[in-house]
Amino acid sequence: MDFNKIVALLKTEVLPTMGCTEPGAVALGAAYAANVLEEGAAVSKVSVSVSANIFKNGVAVGIPGTGQTGLPIAAALGVIKKNPEKKLSVLAAIQQRELVLAQAMVDHGIIQVSVDHEKNRLWIKVKVETASEWSEAIIQNSHTNLVRIRKNGKTLYEKDQGNDDEIQDNPLNLWCKEASVNAMVEAMERIPLQDILFIAEGIEMNFLAAQKGIAKKLGLGIGAILKEMVDNGTLSDDMINYAKMLTAGAADARMSGENVPVMSSAGSGNHGITAILPVYAVAQKTGAAPDKMIRAVALSHLITIYIKLHTGNLSALCGCAVAAATGASAAITWLLGGKGTAIEAAMKNLIANLTGMICDGGKVGCALKLSTAAGAAVESSLLARGEVVVPDTNGIILSSIQDTIKNLGKISNPGMVFTDKVILEVMLKKERSVS
């Protein structure tokens, strides 16, 4: 495999993010739109239109530094901060004055959020109006992919929007999608370490998020409770429970809206948590060399990205379970000395185990799913090393891991498209009843 393409892909897909990715993307769209308007003009209306999956993942998740949840406050902050150059860190370092202004916009009904059911997967349009002018920004297909900015009817920037497969069809992604797992493993073994040292930043970042989530008992406090149970002897102090504890702790912090950065994977902070921390946990418990841990985490990211190219950015399947945890299972197996057959066996075990776990939006309860995924990643690897593998006669598992992942993609789309619509209907009905 081409080392330069690997590095380019990882640097594109492994990025720091502040808060849940979907509200961050909405804030980014708002920042793009507001940034082209006259400085100091009072905003009279902000119209946010999003695809169903953006709404699903943003409606109940905490927004860093606000103590609040949902897309309206995220959009308001994006309008006020006007910092699109920050990309998915647009909501970092919120000042008290900014929060007061944003809250006033929400309270006065200036922010309006709607779902466009005709748009698929990932789509965001933000229109910002003042007394004398208006602007509009559209983000499509990936969380930072700006495709258009208009001001007062004039197009200031436009990119070929293509279709829902545009991002998947870029040369890097096409190259990755056609690769084999064995080729990825071999590349991670041979790539010069200095080319992927940046991966270490994400390991430290997500570990610090886990520490904060555990120490402050954030969110549902799952990471903190797991630590208490290990400390008092209820649970054993082993690599599975350590992986679950760290992964849950970081998710507790991120989903509660704690002001803590997280390194993402394949466009998702929770994917990044799941791709990194189980591998880190096993590395710590086994005393793995730092350079080997970095290579393992890079492999986890690469396989996570590979699977997401088949399942899609946003779907009814929990990507932390079917993509990031599968990447982690492969990386852990490699870290423990497993080769091609064992690595594929671990991935098959994970896919056979967790396929079907639904995504019902970003929220504090995600920490439970991430904890389950982390434990399953380690367990799948250990079982594979013991020569346990789900046979090809079972369900969606095929002899080739590449073909198994293609089946996973079919389960996601078209298989669970209707499921996704039902999940959204349930969530919208609940949202209307609450409001």
pLDDT for the residue numbered 222: 99
Both structure tokens of 128: 């910002």
Question: What's the pTM?
Answer: 0.92
Examine the pLDDT at 67 and tell me if it is beyond 50: yes
Confidence of residue 434 (pLDDT cuts 50, 70, 90): low
Q: In the chain, what is the straight-line distance between the N-terminal and C-terminal CA atoms, in Å?
A: 52
In this prediction, residue 255 has a pLDDT band, given cuts at 50, 70 and 90, of: very high
Question: What mean pLDDT do residues 76-88 have?
Answer: 95
Backbone angles phi, psi at 165, to 5 degrees: -100, 5
404-427 pLDDT, tens digit per residue, is: 999 999 999 999 999 999 999 999
Which residues, 6 or more positions from 330, have their beta carbon under 8 angstroms from its beta carbon?
A: 181, 185, 299, 300, 303, 343, 346, 347
Q: Is the pLDDT of residue 366 over 60?
A: yes
Whether 302 and 188 have beta carbons less than 8 Å apart is answered as yes
Nearest to 347 by CA among 314, 305, 377, 309: 377
Task: Specify the pLDDT at position 166.
Answer: 46
List the domains of the chain with CATH numbers. 18-158 (3.30.1330), 179-429 (1.10.4100.10)
- pLDDT > 90? residue 199: yes
d(CA 29, CA 15): 18
124-160 per-position pLDDT tens digit: 999 999 999 999 999 998 889 999 999 999 999 999 7
Please, are residues 35 and 78 in contact by the beta-carbon 8 Å criterion? no
Beta strands at 154-158 and 111-115: parallel, antiparallel or unpaired: unpaired
Which three-class secondary structure state does DSSP give residue 195? Answer: helix
- 373-396 pLDDT, tens digit each: 999 999 999 999 999 999 999 999
Question: Are 25 and 124 a contacting pair, CB within 8 Å?
Answer: yes
How many angstroms separate the CA atoms of 351 and 167, rounded? 25
Give Cα 147 distance to the centre of its chain: 21
Asked if 309 and 326 count as a contact pair (C-beta separation under 8 A), the reply is no
With a CB cutoff of 8 Å and minimum separation 6, the contacts of 347 are: 181, 303, 326, 329, 330, 380, 401, 404
The whole-number pLDDT of residue 142 equals 85
Q: Tokens 């909405």 sit at which residue? A: 26
Is the Cβ–Cβ distance between 338 and 385 less than 8 Å? yes
3-state secondary structure labels for all residues of 128-192: EEECCCEEEEEEECCCCCEEEEEECCEEEEECCCCCCCCCCCCHHHHHHHCCCHHHHHHHHHHCC
**Helical packing angle, 340-354 and 366-385, nearest 10°:** 140
Instruction: Give the per-residue pLDDT at 164.
Output: 45
Measured CA to CA in angstroms, residue 339 lies from 177, 310, 347 at distances of 21, 24, 12
